[in-house]
C-alpha cells in the first residue's frame, strides 16, 4: 500500500510540474507579477521593522543576534534595490532584467527570490559548512592542539563503534555463505548504522 501511495505522490508532483510548464504566456506573466508584488509588500514590512530596530539601536539598546541580522539583511536589500529600480523606471529595460540576473544573481533583494533560489543557497551553504567543519576537524587533529575530553571520548567511541560494525559485517558475510538467514538485510542495516556513526 505504501508503494502505491508513494507512486501516486510522485505522479502528483510530476503532474504539478507539467501544469507549471503548460501555463500560457499570460498566466506566466500574471504569476511573476504576483510574485514581485508579494516581494514588494514583504520588503515594505521588513523596512518598517528595520526602521524600528534602527531607532532602538540609536536609543542605546543592544540588538539581539536575530534583530541585527534582520537589520543587516534589510539594509543590503535596500542597497540592492537601487540597481533593480533602474530596470523598473527605464522603459523597456525590464526586458534586460533576465540577462542582468544571469550575470549578477544576487542583484535582486532577498524578498524577491523564488523558492528554488532559496533552496539552492541553502544547499550551497550546507555544503560549505560541512567542508569547513571537516577541514577544521582534520586541522585540529593534525596540529595536536588541545581537544576537550568529551571530544576525545566521542571520537574513541565512534572508532570503537566502526570496528564493531566492521566485525559484524564480516561475520554476516561468513554466515551468509553457511546459512540463508537474512544476512543481506543484517548487513544492510549494519551498514546504515555504520554510516550514521560517521555523521
Per DSSP, the residues of 103-168 read H-TT-S-GGG--HHHHHHHHHHHHHHHHHHHHHHHHHHHHHT----HHHHHHHHHHHHHHHHHHHH
Matching residue, cell 534589510? 74
Q: What pLDDT was estimated at residue 83?
A: 84
Q: What pLDDT was estimated at residue 88?
A: 80
Q: What pLDDT was estimated at residue 50?
A: 94
For CA atoms 89, 92, 97, 103, the dihedral sign is negative
Q: What pLDDT was estimated at residue 129?
A: 93
Q: What pLDDT was estimated at residue 66?
A: 94
Q: Give 3-state DSSP helix, strand, coil % of the chain, rounded to 5.
A: 85, 0, 15
Q: What pLDDT was estimated at residue 192?
A: 60
Determine the 3-state secondary structure of 58 from DSSP. helix
Pick from 124, 127, 130, 109: which is nearest to 47 by CA?
109
Q: What are phi and psi of 34, to 5 degrees?
A: -65, -40
Q: What pLDDT was estimated at residue 52?
A: 95
DSSP 59: T
Tens-of-pLDDT digits for all 199 residues of the chain? 444 444 444 454 554 555 556 888 888 888 888 888 898 899 999 999 999 999 999 999 999 999 999 999 999 999 988 887 888 888 888 888 888 888 887 888 888 888 888 888 889 999 999 999 889 888 877 887 666 777 777 778 888 888 888 888 777 766 655 554 455 555 555 566 555 555 4
- Rounded to the nearest 10 degrees, how much is the dihedral formed by the CA atoms of 10, 11, 15, 18? 70
Amino acid at each position: 500500500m505504501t508503494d502505491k501511495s508513494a507512486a501516486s505522490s510522485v505522479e502528483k508532483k510530476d503532474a504539478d510540474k507539467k501544469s507549471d510548464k503548460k501555463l500560457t504566456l499570460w498566466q506566466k506573466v500574471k504569476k511573476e507579477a504576483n510574485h514581485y508584488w508579494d516581494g514588494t509588500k514583504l520588503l515594505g514590512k521588513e523596512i518598517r521593522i528595520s526602521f524600528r530596530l534602527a531607532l532602538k539601536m540609536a536609543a542605546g539598546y543592544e540588538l539581539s543576534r536575530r534583530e541585527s541580522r534582520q537589520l543587516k539583511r534589510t539594509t543590503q536589500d535596500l542597497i540592492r534595490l537601487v540597481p533593480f529600480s533602474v530596470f523598473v523606471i527605464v522603459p523597456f529595460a525590464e526586458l534586460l532584467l533576465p540577462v542582468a540576473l544571469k550575470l549578477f544573481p544576487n542583484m535582486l533583494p532577498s524578498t524577491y527570490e523564488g523558492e528554488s533560489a532559496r533552496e539552492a543557497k541553502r544547499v550551497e551553504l550546507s555544503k560549505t559548512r560541512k567542508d569547513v567543519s571537516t577541514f577544521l576537524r582534520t586541522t585540529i587533529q593534525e596540529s595536536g592542539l588541545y581537544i576537550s575530553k568529551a571530544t576525545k571520548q566521542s571520537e574513541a567511541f565512534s572508532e570503537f563503534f566502526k570496528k564493531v560494525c566492521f566485525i559484524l559485517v564480516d561475520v554476516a558475510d561468513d554466515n551468509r555463505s553457511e546459512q540463508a538467514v537474512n544476512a543481506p538485510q543484517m548487513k544492510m542495516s549494519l551498514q546504515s548504522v555504520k554510516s550514521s556513526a560517521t555523521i
